[in-house]
């Protein structure tokens, strides 16, 4: 863990920024902030995070409990964009961040079958289109005119038929007055114990003539064995294990195959290996370890480290797995934003 620039195992009580990182106070505001994964990343990297927008009231309560933001808007980004009463602090920010809901572009979902349609999704339990939220966010960029803007999303946004969206994103960034770069990054190379690939569109406002941003991370992979915690194994063994013994590993050994004694299927549920990095953790159940002829869900201590969330984060009554699966890992954001400060914002300031 000492070989990594930002800690994946840490506590809020120790404060920000991370060790050996200087506080510079560059102002950042977030949209689609969820539980605050990115927010914590910016703070670890020495930024001053002043608030955000989040549609889900329950998640917003968790965010405010842990971050005490200066400005917070519990509403749809579309309503936020129509506001004419925003504080002056939100204009000409150093950085604006946004991670629009990505289920419409996930390779595991319906993808183009859902494009253009309204659907009900968990955040806010509201009927709305999801595939146009990336462009609603670019409207926010155009409205607030930050020096730097980041749009994060799933890898599926740049694959297959979704490439048309990628081209339009570039067009809309340029129309808003930004020179934009596209990065596909893997959290596993950035000091996060998780193989989480994410796409980042990073735009610099046209009036700043600076070299292109260079992002390259090659930190040592953190294997699951380094964070494995089987203190709950006896508890698992003592339960009614029919639901455990009823499943077998698939031939590939990477997923769980159909049950022997039970109906249903566990196909696609991810198996973790002590000698490998954990694959992408999602908000629904799906990450297990095969241990002592039983499979067990990763416990909260393991999940917090896999997601590089602080061990003392107050999730209130929200399941940690949900927020961690929905969030950009704080350390991933810290790595990116630290480079943005060093290569761009430091020189602008």
Give a yes or no: residue 6 inside a domain: no
294, 292, 311: which is closest to 303 by C-alpha? Answer: 311
My answer on whether 261 and 172 are in the same domain is no
My answer on whether 190 and 251 are in the same domain is no
My answer on whether 193 and 234 are in the same domain is no
Low-confidence ranges of the chain (pLDDT < 70): 1-2, 102-131, 234-269, 285-295
- Give the count of domains, the chain: 2
My answer on whether 109 and 134 are in the same domain is yes
Give a yes or no: residue 204 inside a domain: yes
The whole-number pLDDT of residue 269 equals 64
Residue 293 is part of which domain span? 230-298
My answer on whether 180 and 246 are in the same domain is no
User: How far is residue 255's CA from residue 168's CA, in Å, rounded to a whole number?
Assistant: 36
My answer on whether 211 and 245 are in the same domain is no
Give a yes or no: residue 305 inside a domain: no
Assign residue 141 the CATH number of its domain.
Answer: 3.40.50.150
Known catalytic residues? 102
User: How far is residue 34's CA from residue 329's CA, in Å, rounded to a whole number?
Assistant: 12
User: How far is residue 142's CA from residue 339's CA, in Å, rounded to a whole number?
Assistant: 23
DSSP state of 227: T
Express the helix, strand and coil content of the chain in percent, nearest 5 each: 35, 20, 45
My answer on whether 146 and 111 are in the same domain is yes
My answer on whether 29 and 125 are in the same domain is yes
Full-model pTM: 0.87
The whole-number pLDDT of residue 136 equals 95
My answer on whether 76 and 174 are in the same domain is yes
User: How far is residue 245's CA from residue 240's CA, in Å, rounded to a whole number?
Assistant: 10
Give a yes or no: residue 312 inside a domain: no
């Amino acid at each position: 863990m000492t070989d990594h620039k930002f800690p994946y195992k840490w506590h809020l009580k120790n404060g920000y920024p991370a060790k050996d990182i200087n506080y510079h106070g560059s102002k950042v505001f977030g949209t689609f902030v969820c539980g605050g994964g990115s927010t914590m990343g910016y703070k670890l990297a020495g930024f001053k995070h002043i608030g955000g927008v989040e549609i889900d009231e329950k998640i917003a309560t968790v965010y405010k409990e842990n971050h005490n933001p200066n400005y917070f808007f519990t509403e749809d980004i579309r309503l936020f964009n129509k506001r004419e009463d925003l504080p002056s602090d939100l204009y000409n920010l150093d950085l604006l961040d946004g991670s629009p809901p990505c289920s419409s572009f996930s390779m595991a979902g319906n993808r183009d079958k859902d494009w253009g349609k309204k659907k009900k999704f968990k955040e806010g339990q509201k009927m709305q289109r999801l595939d146009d939220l990336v462009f609603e966010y670019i409207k926010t960029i155009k409205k607030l005119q930050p020096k730097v803007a980041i749009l994060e999303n799933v890898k599926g946004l740049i694959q297959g038929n979704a490439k048309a969206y990628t081209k339009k994103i570039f067009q809309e960034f340029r129309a808003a007055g930004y020179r934009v770069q596209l990065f596909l990054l893997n959290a596993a190379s950035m000091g996060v114990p998780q193989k989480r690939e994410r796409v980042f569109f990073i735009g610099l406002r046209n009036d700043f003539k600076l070299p292109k941003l260079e992002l390259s991370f090659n930190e040592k992979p953190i294997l699951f064995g380094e964070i494995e915690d089987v203190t709950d194994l006896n508890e698992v063994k003592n339960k009614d294990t029919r639901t455990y013994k009823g499943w077998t590993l698939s031939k590939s050994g990477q997923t769980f195959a159909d049950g022997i004694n039970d109906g249903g299927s566990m196909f696609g549920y991810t198996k973790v290996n002590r000698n490998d990095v954990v694959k992408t953790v999602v908000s629904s159940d799906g990450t297990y370890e095969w241990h002592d002829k039983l499979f067990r869900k990763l416990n909260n201590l393991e999940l917090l480290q896999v997601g590089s969330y602080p061990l003392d984060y107050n999730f209130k009554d929200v399941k940690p797995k949900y927020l961690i699966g929905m969030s950009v890992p704080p350390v991933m954001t810290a790595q990116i934003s630290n480079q943005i400060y060093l290569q761009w914002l430091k020189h602008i300031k």
